[in-house]
Amino acid sequence: MLIYFSKLRFSLVHPSRTSLFSEVPLILMIAAPGFFLIHENGFSQPVKLGKPEFDKTTHDFGPIREKDGKVEAIFPFRNAGEAPVAISNADARCGCTTIYWSRDSIRPHSLGFIKVVYDPANRPGVFSKSITVDFGKGYDPWLLIIKGNVIQRDLGFTDYYPFEDGNLRYRTNHVAFGELIAGRSDTASNLIYNQGKQPIRIDTQYTVLPPYLVMHISPVVIKPGGVSRARFRFLSKWKDEYGYDSEFFFLQTNDSINPRKRMDYSADIREDFSGWSKEEIANGPRASFDKVLHSFGDIHPASRVTATFKLTNTGRAALLLRNLKSSCGCSAAASGKDSLGPGESTDIEVSFLPGDRRGEIKKSIAVICNDPVTPVIRLEFTALVKEEKD
């Protein structure tokens, strides 16, 4: 392989000639075991490189007990080269694994290390994790492996019901109905555990629910150490709104600690296109935007900024805007029209007020429509929120 560096003078001597080439590129020739530079005097000098070598690349913990906590493995390596080397990065891509490594450059014939710490908490069973170690440009990455088998600890009620609110604990603190076809209903449930010393009554009569959410709890009186199941039914026909929505209500109880228990729930209501034929889809509406990403650049926290996205119906039927859903309360969106005929366009104006947010911000607006191909289109915007310079 040849690498050329232009505008450098050197002399290239041909074995059968005494003539010299003076204005030609410097040639870096790669040959084992190192690099060589050809200078004007015709001699070559090696470019020294480091050479990291690991004693091992796999560590098997074997059986480990979850209750004993974190375990660690050391991967030593030697620099067998002629120049210092340094680890530029080590990545496990898993929250269960923490990596430590030699931060200083490793001199030739010296030792460095990678320490891998694995947390087996709530991860029973066989595992195998890989760690990628980079030594910077010019070096191939190394792949290290840790593996083992986590022996599960004995589980208690805090494991089965991890979310605590006063003397009650829940299997989950968010009842998720997932995607739901408009006009249909769906069910979900939650388990409630009494960790207190007194029975707790759930007063369903005084628990206020929206008209599209039905709740049934049995039993309504939970004995100490007992469990009750809360069953929910979401009636989308009573909620005239498309898209993802997350809300909450308060469960009324006679618990001596915080008797009003907040419970969150969510649903993503979608239009049903499953019965459309290929011909109906081809002749349906199409939502097309001039852009789906806008950058506000640098903005002040107190500044309200706006951006305009142009929407055009490139289909053959009327395009209906079902909803515009913001990803946070810091942004809002409004459209000029809710219905577009074939070939018609409208502007969707998106506004953003940072408030107490700082740094790099990325938010989105979900445009929900009756386009059978892309019924949900996300308009994204970015900003760098920072105070004015003194």
Please report, for the domain that includes residue 351, its CATH number.
2.60.40.10
Which domain, by its residues, includes 40? 2-47
CA angle 365, 370, 375 (to 5 degrees): 50
What's the rounded mean pLDDT across residues 288-317?
95
The pLDDT tens digits for 129-148 are: 999 999 998 899 999 999 99
Q: Say how far apart CA 320 and CA 353 lie, in whole Å.
A: 28
Q: Say how far apart CA 116 and CA 261 lie, in whole Å.
A: 41
pLDDT surpassing 50 at residue 65: yes
Local confidence band at 95 (pLDDT 50, 70, 90 cut-offs):
confident
Q: Which of 242, 270, 298 lies at the terminal end of a domain, its last residue?
A: 270
Q: Say how far apart CA 111 and CA 78 lie, in whole Å.
A: 5
Give the pairing type, strands 58-65 and 142-151. parallel
**Both tokens assigned to 356:** 């107490």
**10 and 56 both lie in a single domain:** no
Cβ-based neighbours of 35, under 8 Å, separated by 6 or more: 28, 29, 46, 47, 49
Q: Which value, to the nearest 10 degrees, does the dihedral of the CA atoms of residues 267, 271, 274, 279 take?
A: -160
pLDDT surpassing 50 at residue 99: yes
**86 and 132 both lie in a single domain:** yes
**301 and 381 both lie in a single domain:** yes
Q: Which of 270, 299, 316 lies at the terminal end of a domain, its last residue?
A: 270
Cis peptide before 63 (omega within 30 of 0): no
Local confidence band at 389 (pLDDT 50, 70, 90 cut-offs):
low
Q: Say how far apart CA 83 and CA 85 lie, in whole Å.
A: 7
Q: Which of 151, 176, 197 lies at the terminal end of a domain, its last residue?
A: 151
Number of folded domains that form the chain? 4
How many CB atoms within 10 Å of residue 377?
18
Radius of gyration of the chain (CA): 32
**30 and 133 both lie in a single domain:** no
**19 and 113 both lie in a single domain:** no
Asked, for residue 231, whether it belongs to a domain, the answer is: yes
CA angle 28, 34, 40 (to 5 degrees): 40
Task: Please report where in the chains the tokens 């980079």 appear, as a residue.
Answer: 134
**178 and 264 both lie in a single domain:** yes
H-run or E-run covering 384: strand 376-385
pLDDT surpassing 70 at residue 10: no
What's the rounded mean pLDDT across residues 78-103?
93
pLDDT given for residue 46 in this prediction = 67
Asked, for residue 390, whether it belongs to a domain, the answer is: no
